[in-house]
């Protein structure tokens, strides 16, 4: 509430609408123009001015640090390890608190996703000085979804 929030991988706006009702400022990042167009439609009528940028998350340049970053089911799309590490670095450099929600299931996926364990996620963020403050895991139709709160 009343924070400067960065939403990486904002997609169609399902989470954006909720964040916009609480945040003081909101920056939304997504690489897909069609998703960003849908995000704009989803947030029509929301009083908060939202800044949007159509760019890959690992290419985002944070000019003014945000208080919080929300990243939901985005890291799984960084299939190349270098891209994944770059995205974690962007998150850590952009905020002091990060909420990361990721599928940590152990199953076969497509070439467009790379599932990582909770430990792999924790280790990646630890490299940038972020430690787990809270964590939980939920079963979603057989998938394990990890909810991790990282803090500096």
Integer Cα distance of 40 and 30 in angstroms: 12
CB 122 within 8 A of CB 113: no
Residue closest to 66 by CA, chosen among 94, 27, 24, 28: 94
pLDDT tens track for 25-46: 999 999 999 999 999 999 998 8
Structure tokens at 119: 């430990």
Query: pTM surpassing 0.85?
Result: yes
Residue closest to 22 by CA, chosen among 78, 80, 99, 81: 99
pLDDT tens track for 63-98: 999 999 999 999 999 999 999 999 999 999 999 999
pLDDT tens track for 107-134: 888 999 999 999 999 999 999 999 999 9
Structure tokens at 136: 């939980």
Integer Cα distance of 91 and 75 in angstroms: 11
SS3 71: strand
């Amino acid at each position: 509430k009343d924070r400067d929030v960065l939403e990486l991988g904002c997609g169609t706006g399902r989470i954006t609408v909720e964040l916009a009702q609480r945040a003081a400022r909101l920056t939304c990042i997504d690489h897909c123009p069609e998703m960003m167009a849908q995000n704009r439609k989803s947030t029509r009528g929301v009083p908060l001015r939202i800044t949007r940028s159509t760019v890959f998350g690992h290419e985002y340049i944070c000019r003014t640090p945000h208080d919080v970053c929300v990243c939901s089911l985005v890291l799984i799309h960084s299939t190349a390890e270098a891209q994944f590490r770059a995205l974690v670095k962007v998150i850590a450099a952009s905020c002091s608190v990060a909420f990361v929600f990721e599928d940590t299931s152990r199953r076969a996926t497509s070439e467009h996703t790379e599932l990582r364990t909770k430990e792999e996620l924790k280790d990646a963020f630890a490299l940038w000085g972020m430690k787990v403050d809270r964590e939980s895991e939920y079963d979603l139709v057989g998938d394990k979804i990890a909810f991790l709160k990282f803090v500096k």
